[in-house]
Amino acid sequence: MSDVAYDPAHHYDRVTQAWTLLLGEELHYGVFETGDEPLDAATQNLTRLMAGAMTVPSGVTVLDVGCGTGAPACMLASQHGARVTGITTSEVGVEASLARAASQDLTNMTAFELRDGMDNGFPDASFDRVWVLESSHLMPARDRLLAECARVLKPGGRLALCDVMLRREMPFLEVRRLRKPLGILRDVFGDARMEQLETYRALADSSGLIVDRADDLTTATRPTFARWRANAENHRNRVVELFGADSLDRFVEASMVLEGFWDDGTLGYGLISARKP
């Protein structure tokens, strides 16, 4: 893998517009109940599943860590009546989130700010809920992320986290052997550091949270990759305009690498939810 310094904010500033066409408006994996659903239905399934695991009664305050372009935050505000603060290190993400909220008349229910999930700067016990959707794998200090999530939760508050995860240990020699496919993933998706579901459980426990749900969603998320490739074909001309043919071809190649890792048991997808005593 490349030793060039990686800046996740710069990466997402560059790819966000194109990824909206490739990954869908919600910019995350889908949970497929039959395998035949369109991608947007499956991504909505995932956000509903995550909201159900966290529970979102009307009026609660939610911190969305790694808010993307604001789709989940706006969903939590519009469908659940939550007051949501989304944070990201991407200026493009903040701008897109603010525009999305304005277009849905949700500016009084949402806020979006440039902040780091590993050091968010909010006071202790600021939020009723913390939502972390596919952003933790880009944060090198997962212990600090979980500690910050726990710190800003009010007593009785709840956390929900979904992400790509390791399903088995990868010895150093195997990592070296897989240098090329792992490099493709880094180039396309960023400098990710995946952990096992049980590691997230342990980090939550050590942060003083009580984990009440840990689900392996690997099988349900696998059809996502074929949908991404279909989007790449359907939107090829526009995506090439946005970030170039080479980037699009690498994205397609990366989706195939991920699919292979899903199938051989290396990578998968997981959800945890926890409460603060």
Q: What is the pLDDT of residues 131-163, one digit of tens each?
A: 999 999 999 999 999 999 999 999 999 999 999
Query: What is the average per-residue pLDDT within 68-92?
Result: 95
- pLDDT confidence bin for 191, thresholds 50/70/90: confident
Give the domain ranges of the chain.
8-275
Asked: is 8-275 a CATH 1.10.3720.10 domain? The reply is no
Q: What pLDDT does residue 11 have? A: 57
Q: Report the range of poorest mean pLDDT among 18-22, 61-65, 120-124.
A: 18-22
Q: What is the pLDDT of residues 91-116, one digit of tens each?
A: 989 999 999 999 999 999 999 999 99
How many Cβ atoms sit within 10 Å of the Cβ of residue 151?
Answer: 17
Name the pTM for this structure: 0.92
Q: Which residues contact residue 128 at a Cβ distance below 8 angstroms, ignoring those fewer than 6 apart?
A: 60, 61, 62, 153, 154, 157, 158
What's the gap between Cα 13 and its chain centre? 15
Q: Which two tokens stand for residue 207?
A: 């942060």
Q: What pLDDT does residue 2 have? A: 38
pLDDT of 237 > 90? The answer is yes
The pairing of beta strand 153-166 with beta strand 61-65: unpaired
pLDDT of 175 > 90? The answer is no
Facing residues of 111 across strands? 85
Tell me whether residue 143 is exposed, middle or buried, using C-beta atoms within 10 angstroms of its C-beta: 0 to 12, 13 to 18, 19 or more. Answer: middle
pLDDT of 84 > 50? The answer is yes
- pLDDT confidence bin for 15, thresholds 50/70/90: confident
- pLDDT confidence bin for 9, thresholds 50/70/90: low
pLDDT of 13 > 70? The answer is no
- pLDDT confidence bin for 79, thresholds 50/70/90: very high
- pLDDT confidence bin for 10, thresholds 50/70/90: low
Residue written as token pair 């860590």: 65
Q: Which two tokens stand for residue 268?
A: 């998968």
Q: What is the pLDDT of residues 245-276, one digit of tens each?
A: 999 999 999 999 999 999 999 999 999 999 99
